[in-house]
Amino acid sequence: MDTNAAIPRPIHDGLVPWPDDLAAEYRRRGYWADRPLGEYVLTAADRWPDKVALVSGEGRLTYAELVFRMDAAAERLLDIGLRPGDRVIVQLPNDWQFVVFTLACFRAGIVPVMALPAHRSHELTHMALHAEAVALVVPDRVKDYDHQALAEHVAASSPFVRWTFVSGEARGDALPLEPLLAVADDDAAATRSRMDGRAPHPDAVACFLLSGGTTGMPKLIARTHNDYACNIRETSAISEVDERTVYLGTLPASHNFPLACPGVLGTLFAGGTSVMLPSPEPVRAFTTIERERVTLAAAVPAVVQRWLEYRRDRGGDQLASLRVLQVGGSRLPDELAARVQPELGARLQQVFGMAEGLINMTRLDDPDEVIHATQGRPVCDADEVRVVGADGADVNDGDPGLILTRGPYTPRGYFRAEEHNSRAFVDGWYGSGDVVVRRPDGNLVVLGRDKDIINRGGEKISAEEVENVVYRLPEVDLVAAVAMPDPILGERLCLCVSLMPGRTLELERVRTFMVEAGLASFKLPERLDVLDDLPLTKVGKIDKRALRERVAAVVTGSST
Ligand code: OOB
């Protein structure tokens, strides 16, 4: 432990609360139930103590075991010196440690910052500094990658980090995660009652999610116990989650969709079983669905496509138990949507959501036309959605416009991002930058977006973040990161550059440079177009629309 670590500022310094009158209204109408997240799992455990809550590899935890570990870990975290409101960067694969650690944080009022397993030093260092995180939690290795070395680097780059917990083999000053998550010597009831006395306020921040981000670095989204419980409750109702649900958590569990829509948490709150799987690769996913009798799974469109292909090639009835397949994160083409139920045998549920809050879903009993051709409608009665034109005025249903939203689980601002908030939030309305049409039946269709990101199969890449790094290359004069169409992922990243006089540049050089700069590998460009000049708009900005059209013409032309 580093006793010289700097002391982080308190968490409330940097939050944007809901206005008091609305908060009172959300409470009065029951959207905010005033229970901290840890309590919901305890309630399920009281009802079904011996039921299997969690499956991870060959391991299984019953509800009684899960909540005992949650309480014991929560108490240990506080005992070693973490305080309620302290932030902890969590970068763990989909396994039981992720779930127990996250729940322990909720129980103790410690705030996990939900990093993705793909994040590297560029992203993690930024998060650690911005959140003033006091601890890091990583696996020792995943495949060939040494996450512990990554954590060492991040810890050395931030004055706030005092503890590093490692799942697996801990080295040096790092602490092993497994003993932290073990059951306690004391009995479960005594541990629980002590932790009941230390439960966080339901309006406190439960976790930080990461925004897909249009700016240089991902923004942190503070989700309170009250708002996140609302998110989980409303999505659980619409996905019809109950104690019979067996959920397959195969997208990275730190992402809002598999975490809480209704995801791993919704399933655990309802008394069901969450099955953790680190990759959606079809052979293991199908075997797991068959073995565990999975009833509900969530996927991005690119995964659905792989599952459809695998099913076509192999046949069989491994998916017989699967009732509902949720798909979201990026636009599901209507043709793929129409194949899900006939070929995979599961009801499709389209999900158009965001870490910032608003979740839209098709309903399980919607007509096929709605399920195949729309991304659903808000899950909560108190969600407000406007669709506006460029002038900010509401457009008519049926006309395209930008979506604005507010509601009981859509926070009013990013954490410590005043300047950005003044643009992303207008009078409390969050503008996601998605271009949608609201049909007369209330369902939304996502047509595109007016924000500078590349959506690579659900993984969001901020163009600006990539450009900022590429500008450090001495060869580069101007750079633009743009989306190019891709039949599987929807989009991939193409880099368009003009060079300094007499210079040349290869794609591999850019990729290596970005890896060395510590960027997550999903952000690496997959095509490089060197142009004499980048086209400019009338006001002199790089004309990204022209570049997108150009690269689309080239790649679709060359693939036919
Ligand atoms: C989900 O969350 P994020 O925060 O990674 O990304 C949000 C953005 C949306 O603004 C939109 O641009 C895009 O992802 N998106 C979709 C979509 N679902 C998300 N675009 C088209 N069709 C869809 N179905 O991606 C997310 C969070 C919770 C649940 C589901 C997805």
Residue 560 has pLDDT above 50, yes or no: no
Q: For residue 2, how far is its CA from the centre of ligand 1 (angstroms)?
A: 39
Q: For residue 460, how far is its CA from the centre of ligand 1 (angstroms)?
A: 9
Res. 399 pLDDT band, cuts 50 70 90: very high
Segment 43-66, tens digit of pLDDT:
999 999 999 999 999 999 999 999
Check if 329 has its Cβ closer than 6 Å to any atom of ligand 1. yes
Using CB atoms within 10 Å of the CB of residue 216, give its burial: 0 to 12 exposed, 13 to 18 middle, 19+ buried. middle
The DSSP code for 426 is E
For residues 89 and 139, the answer to whether their CB atoms sit within 8 Å is: no
Check if 257 has its Cβ closer than 6 Å to any atom of ligand 1. yes
Residue 18 has pLDDT above 50, yes or no: yes
Q: What is the pLDDT of residue 217?
A: 83
Adjacency order of strands within the sheet including 527-530: 476-486, 490-499, 527-530
Minimal-distance CA residue to ligand 1 atom 12 = 434
Q: What is the pLDDT of residue 557?
A: 84
Domains of the chain: 37-46+62-201 (3.40.50.980), 453-558 (3.30.300.30)
Residues 15-29 as b or e (16 or more Cβ within 10 Å = b): bbebeeebeeebbee
Mean pLDDT of the region 526-540: 96
Mean pLDDT of the region 474-478: 98
Res. 104 pLDDT band, cuts 50 70 90: very high
Residues 44 and 63: their CA atoms lie apart, in Å, by: 7
Check if 180 has its Cβ closer than 6 Å to any atom of ligand 1. no
Residue of 220, 221, 352 to test ligand 1 pocket, by largest number of atoms within 8 Å of CB = 352
Check if 432 has its Cβ closer than 6 Å to any atom of ligand 1. yes
Using CB atoms within 10 Å of the CB of residue 558, give its burial: 0 to 12 exposed, 13 to 18 middle, 19+ buried. exposed
Segment 133-153, tens digit of pLDDT:
999 999 999 999 999 999 999
Check if 489 has its Cβ closer than 6 Å to any atom of ligand 1. no
Residues 32 and 225: their CA atoms lie apart, in Å, by: 9
Minimal-distance CA residue to ligand 1 atom 9 = 354
Check if 74 has its Cβ closer than 6 Å to any atom of ligand 1. no
Res. 261 pLDDT band, cuts 50 70 90: very high
Check if 226 has its Cβ closer than 6 Å to any atom of ligand 1. no
To the nearest 10 degrees (0 to 180), the angle between helices 282-292 and 301-314 is 80
pTM above 0.85, yes or no: yes
Residue of 330, 444, 452 to test ligand 1 pocket, by largest number of atoms within 8 Å of CB = 330
Check if 451 has its Cβ closer than 6 Å to any atom of ligand 1. no
Instruction: Please state the atom number of ligand 1 nearest to the C-alpha of residue 375.
Output: 24
